[in-house]
Amino acid sequence: MTHLINQMGHVMLETPDLHASVHEAVNLLGLRVTMQDEEKAILTSNTRRGELTYIKSSRAAIRSFGLEAIDEAACEQALARVKGAGFEIIRDRPHAPGAAHGFVFRSPSEHAIEIHTAVPRDQPADYPTIGIRPKRLDHVTIMAANPRAMQDMLSELFGMQLSDTVDNEEFVFMRSANLYHHTIAIAKGRPGLHHVAFEALHMVDLMRVGDYLKQLGRNLAWGPGHHGANAQSYFTYHKDVIGCIIEYSYGMARIDNEAVYEPGVWPSSPAPGEDWLNLWGAPPSEMFVTGGVPVMEEEAVADLT
């Protein structure tokens, strides 16, 4: 099936402390505020008008995540397929900053997913920051009760392709048209968002995150490490002020030819020395395993309309 999605678009998070979330995004992550008022803030790491939005709320949660369609025709085709599949359309226009077209629907995993046209690339390419500025918003890893159902939906409705899975189908990696190994990863668990990943500009930035956190009296949740499977990316993870895990990723593989690519099937319980999650061997910490934020509460859905 033809790809309808080009890349990860944006992420909307609810936070009980808007000031603290924005302060950390600017001063640790090196993001730049493109719009802020008393209720929300939009931030970016590059020329895109917005990649991450924080919404003031009573609790931490993921409000929605957006997938950037290849073009308007792809967005319209995605809408027709979502309606044809019987999924609820929560909003018939985009949240993505500056996007001309889009919609939000409720997925079978309880996540609100937005499909939208391109976010304008009208922000400064360079800006001063004391933070560890990444290159771009890279991917998200969400939690779902049935990862295989989400895999099928993303494939059948939007043409996303499976890059890797595990033998019990409880962890899947889905790619979009930009052909990076994954735009969305889905793990079995309580519906929510486990982590937001940014592509690091330099390998050394993964170590700089650890140094920066140490000055704040905090530690990495996992890493530095080297993911195996077919992703082959280097990583660090830390927990942010609302409990969401943030990944700095460097060197994720790109599929060079989809016609001949075969997804890997990896062991859910790897033998000693065969841990594909981290080729360097160190397992994730309890902070990493228990991190993440839930999907928004039912009464907050009205705020998406």
**What percentage of the chain exceeds 70 in pLDDT?**
98
Q: Where do the domains of the chain lie?
A: 5-121, 134-293
User: What is the C-alpha separation between 125 and 123, in angstroms, rounded?
Assistant: 6
| pTM for this predicted structure | 0.96
Question: What contacts 282, CB < 8 A, 6 or more positions away?
Answer: 222, 223, 225
Burial-class residue 182 by CB neighbours within 10 Å (0-12, 13-18, 19+): buried
Hey, what are 30's tokens? 């090196």
Mean pLDDT of 250-276: 93
270 pLDDT higher than 90: no
Establish whether domains 5-121 and 134-293 are of one fold.
yes
For 294, half-sphere exposure in the C-beta direction (CA atoms, 13 angstrom radius) is: 7
Second CATH level (architecture) for the domain 134-293: Roll (3.10)
Domain 5-121 of CATH type 2.60.40.1180: no
Confidence label for 246 from pLDDT (cuts 50, 70 and 90): very high
Q: 277 vs 27, 64, 129, 284, 290, CA distance in Å?
A: 29, 27, 32, 9, 17
Residue 289: closest CA among 219, 189, 213, 167: 189
